[in-house]
Chains A and B, each alone.
Chain A
Amino acid sequence: MRERKSVKFNLQKQEHQNGHLSPFKVAKLFDPDATWDKDQLGDVLHWIRQSLALVCGLLWGAIPLVGGIWFILFFLLSSGIIYAYYALVLKIDEEDFGGHGALLQEGLFASISLFLLTWILVYSLGHF
C-alpha cells in the first residue's frame, strides 16, 4: 500500500514536471538557448500548425483563392514555417527529436483537416 502511494506521488510529480501544470514562458518560444522536452516541442509545433491552418483557411476563403494549387501552397507554406521555426529560430538538433520527419509531421493531418474545413466554410458562407 505504501509502495503504491509513493509510486502514485512520483507519477503526479512527473506529470507536474512534464509541463502540463508548470508555467510556460512565452519567451522560451523564441529562445535558441532554451532546452526542450520532446513532448513540449511536439505540442508547440502542433499548435503552430493549427494556427497556420486557421489563418490560411480564413484568408484563402475570404479572398477567395480557388483551385487545388492553393492547397499545395498551404502545405508547403506551413511545413516551411515549421521547419524555419525549429531549425532557424530554436536552432535545435532534429536528431534529438526523431529527425525532420517526426517534427514536420506533428499535427500535420489535423492541420490539413482544419485548413480544409475553414477554407470550405468561409468560401461557402462568404461567396454564395
Chain B
Amino acid sequence: MSSTLVSNMKYSDSLTVVGISICTAIVCEAISWLLIYRTSSYKSLKSTIDKASKKLETMKTTDPNTATTIKKSKTKKIDRVESSLKESSRDLSMFKFKSGGVVALVLFMVFGLLNSLFEGKAVAKIPFVPIKLVQKMSHRGLSGDDMTDCSMAFLYFLCSISIRTNLQKFLGFSPPRGAAGAGLFPMPDPKSN
C-alpha cells in the first residue's frame, strides 16, 4: 500500500535521489576512513593543528598588564606558531588530496548514473523562484519556463552538502577548526571529494 502511495506521488523520484545520496555519503565516508582518517599520519597532523590553534588562541589573549618588550617577543612567537599551523594545514590538505581521488571517482560515477536516470525530468518542486544564479543549476537540463521545477543536479547538490556535512560531523571526521580554509561556509571536507 505504501509503495502504491509513493508511486502515485508526482515527484517520487526525489526520494530516489535522496536515497542514493545517503548511500553515496555512507560509502564515501567509509572509503575516506579507510584511506585517510584511520592512518597515523592524519591523526598526528590533526592533533598538531588542534594543539597549535589552541596555543595560538591562548597567546593572542591580550593582557593589559603585560610590558611592551614582552609583547614584542610574544608577537614573534605568535608568528612562529601561525606559520607552523599553516604548514600543518597545508600538509593535511595535501595528504587528503592524494587519497581523495577514489572518493571523487565514486561521486562522479554516481552523478553520471543519476544524470542518465533523470536527465530532462523535474524531480521536485521548489516552493519559490530561485535567483538567476541558482536557476542555472536548479533548472539545468529542464524544458519550459517554470523556474520552480527542480532538476536532479540541484537536489543532489543539496543532499550532498547537508547529508555529508552532518555525517562527517556526527562521525567526528570534520576538519579541525584551526585548519586554514575552514571559512565562513564550511563545506563537506573538500579533500574527501
Question: Measuring CB to CB, which residues of chain A are less than 8 angstroms from any residue of chain B?
Answer: 11, 14, 20, 38-39, 42-43, 46-47, 50, 60-61, 64-68, 70-71, 101, 105, 107-110, 113-114, 116-117, 119-121, 123-125, 127-128
A68 to B158, CA, bound (A): 17
Question: Measuring CB to CB, which residues of chain B are less than 8 angstroms from any residue of chain A?
Answer: 9-12, 14-15, 18, 43-44, 47, 57, 124-129, 150, 155, 158-159, 161-162, 165-166, 169, 172, 177, 184-187
What are 21 A-B interface contacts by the 8 Å CB criterion?
A11-B43, A38-B57, A38-B177, A47-B169, A64-B127, A71-B128, A105-B185, A107-B169, A110-B162, A110-B169, A110-B186, A114-B166, A117-B18, A120-B127, A120-B158, A121-B14, A121-B15, A121-B124, A124-B10, A125-B9, A127-B125
Across the interface, which residues of A come within 8 angstroms of B177, CB to CB?
Answer: 38-39, 42
Across the interface, which residues of B come within 8 angstroms of A64, CB to CB?
Answer: 127
Across the interface, which residues of A come within 8 angstroms of B187, CB to CB?
Answer: 109
Q: How far is the CB of A34 from chain B (nearest CB, A)?
A: 19
Chain A interface, >50% SS class: helix
A124 to B44, CA, bound (A): 46
A55 to B12, CA, bound (A): 21
| A117 touching B159, Cβ below 8 Å | yes
| B166 touching A20, Cβ below 8 Å | no
Given A42-B177, A109-B185, output 18 extra A-B contacts at Cβ < 8 Å. Answer: A11-B44, A43-B169, A60-B127, A66-B128, A105-B184, A105-B185, A108-B184, A109-B165, A113-B161, A117-B158, A117-B159, A120-B158, A121-B124, A123-B126, A124-B10, A124-B11, A124-B150, A128-B125
Select B11's contact among A42, A47, A67, A128, beta carbons within 8 Å: A128
Across the interface, which residues of B come within 8 angstroms of A38, CB to CB?
Answer: 57, 177
| A117 touching B10, Cβ below 8 Å | no
| B124 touching A114, Cβ below 8 Å | no
Select A108's contact among B47, B162, B185, beta carbons within 8 Å: B185
In the complex, what residue of chain A is closest to B123 when comparing beta carbons?
A124
A101 to B57, CA, bound (A): 16
| B129 touching A68, Cβ below 8 Å | yes
